[in-house]
């Protein structure tokens, strides 16, 4: 399998280089050059299905039996026997619970596998890397958890001091492995992200530290998320009948993985893109125009995103694979804060995607309503999804809403909506007693680079 850049100006590469390299040299995102077909078999075990669905993407680089072992190890860290259990809400509405991994958000589904893929490829190439990343909460802890204990990876995660929840911070700062480092930056999430971009742009530093990234533009993360769409259809006996999937969306990585499953042959009625007040995608779907607006903090912080980086992977398809035209559209958007699809492109977008947005008050109302009707506590991200599905559902439409975080990860919002405070699961219950290990640094590139240079082994 070969991978090509969405902007069409970088050389094609194999899976190994796409995994370790992150962004393409022309600034684009890697995509496979063809879509393989889904396997016909419907194994009872999630890891078996996962290995079969994903094997074509690593073909030529990773041996099928090695890959199956990595996949099985990755999902052995999940606490649910089904890995991603399907829970019935109403006759035509199910929740697909993606939060049973070690850090309680759906990021674990892909990152537990990505950690093992890094280890395997770095061993084969006798190489090592330093991963740097910025997080507003969930990605940092999932990436650190996935990489902890690795001999060949050092990982440094920047987070905005005082702006994550206490659970999120402690998940990062109470790890004791010598290769993981949490840095509290005196600044915002955007400052952290700018520092990471600046480190990648500093070519000598990038080479010296062998910088690598596991943010949501890494193809391997999309790959790891394709599987559960197929799993949900199989669990419902709908591998040959179209289903609608409703996805709480931020960077568009999760819902794009669903679109890939569709391209690989999964019958899909449509995707519902669920947004909070940061609704640029809803407006794009409604109007065919992408118009930037400021980011507003909400109860569902992992969706507080202005520019969804993975949208580029869909845009290039809507533009008939024209990489340079995609680059131009995005450059225009960055410059002027707006960009428009043609009527034909917009038509193709709405043939597959619908969008709805919920504000915080509506999100809380969904959380309390679900608790009253079903006795179920749900997190605010999942609530945005359920609310969007309920608003748009047609008679007889079968909807699966993706449940992206454990309610214990957002205890304040859950308590505000229901009056109930969810306890942390046993394996995390100790994080409030454990000592925190965190470096507090100013928003200064030279200081951060010195720290990274000294921290890596």
Enumerate binding residues for ligand PLP (CB under 6 A). Answer: 105, 107, 138, 216, 248-254, 302-303, 381, 404-405
The residues facing 211 across adjacent strands are: 130
- Residue 370 contacts by C-beta under 8 Å, 6 or more apart in sequence? 89, 376, 378, 383, 386
* CB 241, min distance to ligand PLP, A: 26
* CB 13, min distance to ligand PLP, A: 23
Separation of alpha carbons 366 and 417, rounded Å: 9
Q: What share of the chain is helix, strand, coil (3-state, %, to 5)?
A: 50, 15, 35
* CB 225, min distance to ligand PLP, A: 8
Q: Which is nearer to ligand PLP, 211 or 281 (CB)?
A: 281
Separation of alpha carbons 273 and 23, rounded Å: 25
Catalytic residue numbers? 107
Q: Which is nearer to ligand PLP, 243 or 310 (CB)?
A: 310
Is the dihedral angle over the CA atoms 396, 402, 405, 406 positive or is it negative?
positive
Separation of alpha carbons 334 and 326, rounded Å: 12
* CB 254, min distance to ligand PLP, A: 4
- Residue 11 contacts by C-beta under 8 Å, 6 or more apart in sequence? 25
* CB 443, min distance to ligand PLP, A: 24
Q: Which is nearer to ligand PLP, 314 or 452 (CB)?
A: 314
* CB 402, min distance to ligand PLP, A: 8
Sequence length of the chain is 457
Q: Which is nearer to ligand PLP, 160 or 452 (CB)?
A: 160
Contact 439, 159 (CB under 8 A): no
Query: What is the gyration radius of the CA atoms in the chain, in angstroms?
Result: 21
Q: How many Cα atoms within 13 Å fall on the side-chain side of residue 21?
A: 21
Kindly provide the residue ranges of all beta strands, DSSP E only, lying in 102-233, ordered along the sequence.
129-134, 153-160, 180-186, 211-212
Separation of alpha carbons 185 and 159, rounded Å: 6
* CB 404, min distance to ligand PLP, A: 3
Q: Which is nearer to ligand PLP, 52 or 143 (CB)?
A: 143
Long-range contacts of 332-335 (CB under 8 A, 24+ apart): 333/290, 333/292, 333/307
* CB 44, min distance to ligand PLP, A: 28
Cβ count near 269 (within 10 Å): 16
Q: Which is nearer to ligand PLP, 304 or 390 (CB)?
A: 304
The residue written with tokens 């991603």 in the block is 84
Separation of alpha carbons 197 and 217, rounded Å: 13
Q: In what order do the strands lie in the sheet with 129-134?
A: 211-212, 129-134, 153-160, 180-186, 439-442
Q: Which is nearer to ligand PLP, 243 or 403 (CB)?
A: 403
DSSP 384-420: HHHHHHHHHPPTT--EEEEE-B-GGGSHHHHHHHHS-
Q: Which is nearer to ligand PLP, 57 or 252 (CB)?
A: 252
């Amino acid at each position: 399998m070969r991978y090509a850049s969405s902007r069409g100006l970088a050389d094609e590469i194999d899976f190994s280089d796409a995994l370790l390299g992150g962004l393409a040299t022309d600034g684009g995102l890697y995509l496979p050059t063809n879509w393989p077909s889904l396997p016909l078999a419907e194994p009872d075990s999630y890891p078996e299905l996962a290995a079969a669905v994903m094997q074509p993407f690593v073909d030529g680089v990773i041996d099928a039996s090695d890959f199956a072992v990595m996949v099985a190890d990755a999902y052995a860290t999940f606490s649910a026997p089904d890995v991603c259990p399907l829970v019935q809400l109403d006759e035509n509405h199910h929740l697909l619970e993606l939060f049973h991994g070690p850090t309680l958000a759906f990021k674990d589904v892909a990152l537990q596998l990505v950690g093992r893929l890094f280890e395997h490829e770095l061993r084969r190439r006798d190489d090592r890397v330093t991963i740097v990343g910025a997080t507003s909460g969930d990605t940092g802890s999932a990436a650190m958890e996935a990489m902890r204990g690795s001999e060949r990876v050092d990982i440094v995660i920047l987070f905005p001091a005082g702006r994550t929840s206490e659970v999120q911070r402690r998940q990062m700062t109470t790890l004791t492995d010598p290769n993981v480092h949490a840095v509290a930056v005196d600044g915002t999430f955007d400052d952290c992200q700018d520092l990471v971009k600046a480190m990648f742009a500093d070519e000598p530093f990038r080479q010296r530290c062998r910088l690598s990234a596991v943010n949501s533009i890494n193809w391997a993360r999309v790959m790891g998320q394709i599987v559960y769409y197929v799993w949900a259809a199989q669990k419902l006996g709908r591998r040959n009948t179209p289903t609608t999937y409703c996805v709480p969306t931020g960077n568009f990585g999760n819902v794009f993985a669903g679109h890939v499953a569709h391209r690989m042959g999964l019958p899909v009625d449509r995707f519902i893109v669920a947004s909070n007040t940061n609704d640029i995608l809803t407006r794009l779907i409604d109007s065919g125009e992408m118009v930037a607006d400021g980011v507003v903090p909400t109860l569902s912080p992992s969706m507080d995103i202005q520019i969804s980086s993975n949208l580029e992977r869909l845009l290039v398809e809507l533009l008939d694979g024209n990489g340079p035209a995609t680059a131009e559209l995005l450059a225009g958007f960055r410059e002027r804060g707006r960009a428009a699809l043609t009527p034909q492109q917009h038509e193709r977008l709405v043939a597959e995607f619908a969008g709805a947005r919920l504000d915080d008050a509506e999100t809380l109302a969904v959380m309390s309503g679900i608790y009253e009707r079903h006795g179920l506590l749900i997190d605010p991200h999942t609530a945005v999804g359920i609310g969007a599905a309920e608003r748009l559902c047609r008679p007889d439409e079968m909807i699966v809403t993706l449940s992206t975080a454990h309610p214990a990860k957002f205890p304040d919002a859950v308590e505000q909506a229901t009056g109930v405070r969810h306890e942390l699961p046993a394996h995390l219950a100790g994080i409030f007693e454990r000592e925190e290990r965190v470096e507090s640094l100013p928003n200064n590139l030279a200081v951060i680079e010195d720290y990274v240079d000294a921290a890596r082994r």
